[in-house]
């Protein structure tokens, strides 16, 4: 029950104090610049990386990015900047 309690409190805080949800709730913040760049904060590691597909671990579930000619411009423990031609972004629940 404990994590649920924590989650509930966080939800409450976000709603009442108007805090950004990604900070409070460890959600990924994704910035897309056209089809050229995708910038993801709060990821939890790289699962697969190919020219056409990138799979990232999130706190809950996974993020799947499909496209062409992918290059990871930078990768840091919690941030990743991907370059290429981005076609699709999927959230996969587990």
Partner 1 sequence: MKNQWTNFYTGYVIVKANGKGTERLINALLKKGIPIWDVKRAGTDSLVFCIDLKEVPKLRETVRSSDCKVTFISGKGGPFLLRRLLKNSGFLAGSLAFLVCLFVLSNMVWGIEIHNANPETEYAIRKELDKMGVKIGKVQFLLDDVDTIQRKLSDNVSALTWIGVELKGTTYHFQVVEKKQPKAEKKLSPQNLVAKKKATIADMFVEKGQPMIKVNDNVYKGQLLVSGIIGKEDTPKVVSARGVILGETWYNSTIEVPLKSNFSVFNGDEMTKHFLSIGNFSLPIWGFKDPGYKHFEKDTTVRPFHFLKWELPIGYKTETKRSKEDIVREYTPAQAHKEAAKMGRADLKKQLPADAEIKKEKILHTTNQNGKVKLIILYQVIENIAAGQPIIQGD
Q: Do residues 12 and 25 make contact, with C-beta atoms less than 8 angstroms apart?
A: no
Nearest distance, CB of residue 84 and partner 1, angstroms: 10
Residue of 7, 11, 35, 48 interacting with partner 1 (CB under 8 A): 48
d(C-alpha 10, C-alpha 21), whole Å: 9
Residue 94 DSSP SS3 = coil
Phi-psi region of 61 (alpha: psi -120 to 50; beta: other; left: phi over 0): left
Query: Which of positions 19-38 make contact with partner 1 (CB under 8 A)?
Result: none
Write the binding mask 51 to 80 for partner 1: x where contact by CB under 8 A, - elsewhere: x------------------xxxxxxxx-x-
Q: CB–CB of 89/38 below 8 Å?
A: yes
Q: How far is the CB of 88 from partner 1 (least distance, A)?
A: 18
Query: How many chain residues are in contact with partner 1, going by CB under 8 A?
Result: 17
Residues that bind partner 1 (CB under 8 A): 45-51, 70-77, 79, 81
């Amino acid at each position: 029950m404990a994590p649920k309690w924590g989650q509930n409190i966080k939800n409450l805080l976000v709603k009442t104090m108007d805090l950004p949800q990604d900070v409070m709730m460890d959600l990924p913040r994704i910035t897309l610049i056209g089809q050229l760049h995708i910038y993801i904060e709060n990821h939890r590691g790289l699962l697969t990386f190919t020219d056409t597909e990138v799979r990232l671990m999130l706190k809950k579930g996974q993020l799947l990015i499909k496209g062409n000619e992918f290059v990871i411009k930078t990768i840091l423990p919690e941030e990743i900047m991907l370059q290429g031609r981005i076609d699709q972004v999927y959230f996969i629940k587990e």
